[in-house]
Amino acid sequence: MMVRPLLLAALVLPTILAAQSRIGLDASIDVSTTTLIRQVSTERTFTGPVIGGAALIGLGRFELDGRYQQGSLTPEAGLTTDPEDLVDLSVHLNYRIRPWVRVGAGPRLRAFIAPAGTVRWTRVEVRTRMEGSVIPGMIAAHAELWFAPMVETNVQGGGSSARGGNVGLSLRLPRAPLDLRLSYGADRAEYASGGSEFLDEISIAIVLRRQ
């Protein structure tokens, strides 16, 4: 239900904003296969596809990017637990220190929605991202790491810590302002009670560059 508006926004927003002069813009849509490993007394694993979209507006050295993901994760065979819906929203303000490195910070809201209840995570992340050309004009690589100095959750006595990262390759499509991006992401958050949630994903994205 949410996918269509998301796709529409991802396609229309770049056009509107690109009309503004001197404003850089990236927009992307992605699909990923996501795995959630939750360790609270026992280990339970969920997998499923997640669809998302992201947009980045740059003005000078500053950038504002936002990302939204949503998907349904089903428990591995043999588990009696219910499937869970994943919703993840993050907004970051970045500063580009060099053309190939930037730092940023911002909030992330994440929820695992199940019939028995919803697990909500609220955290503030600090991150750094590096980019470089591997095959000039054709393939670029990026690596991103983050940690959360502030983590809150509504279960297991609250949150303790969280950190993660994302790494991938972007193939620049010839004669089109498009990149095809393959990336891997991993994120681990710990409960104050000692348990943890580990989320990793392999995703493919189409990125529209209007810079």
Partner 1 sequence: MTLRAWTRLAFLLLLLVPTILRSQGEDPLARALAAYRDLDYDAAATRFRAALGATGSGRLNDADRTRALMHLGATELFRGRRDSAGDAFRTLLLADPRYRPDDLVFPPEVSAAFHEVRLGVRAIAVVVPADIELRTVSDRVPIRIYASALHEIRVFVVGTDAVRVTDVLHDGAVGDSLEVLWSARDSVGRAHPAGRYSLRVVSRGPNGREEREVRIPLDVDRFTVDTLSAPPPLEPSQLRPEMTTPVRTTRPLLIGIVTAATAAFLPSVAGAESGGSSLRFGVAGLAGIAGVVGTMTSARPRAIPENIESNRVARAAWEQEVQRIERENAARRAAPRLRVRAGRATVTEPR
Q: Which is nearer to partner 1, 105 or 167 (CB)?
A: 167
Instruction: Report the alpha-carbon distance of residue 169 to residue 63 in Å, rounded.
Output: 21
Least distance (Å) between residue 205 CB and partner 1: 13
User: Dihedrals φ, ψ of 18, to 5°?
Assistant: -65, -20
Q: How many residues does the chain have?
A: 211
CB 113 within 8 A of CB 87: yes
Nearest distance in Å: CB 211, partner 1: 12
Nearer to partner 1, 179 or 187 (CB): 187
CB of 165 to partner 1, least distance (A): 5
Residue with tokens 């509504």: 154
Q: Which of 13, 186 has the CB closer to partner 1?
A: 186
Cβ atoms of 151 and 159 closer than 8 Å: yes
Per DSSP, the chain holds a count of helices (H) and strands (E) of 1, 10
Minimum Å distance from CB 201 to partner 1? 8
The residue (of 70 and 196) whose beta carbon lies closer to partner 1 is: 196
In the complex with partner 1, the residue whose CB is nearer, 93 or 173, is 173
Binding site for partner 1 (CB under 8 A): 33, 35, 37, 132-137, 139, 141-143, 145, 161, 163-169, 174, 182-188, 190, 196, 198, 200-202
Structure tokens at 1: 């239900």
The least CB distance from residue 124 to partner 1, in Å, is: 17
Pick from 155, 67, 144: which is nearest to 107 by CA?
A: 67
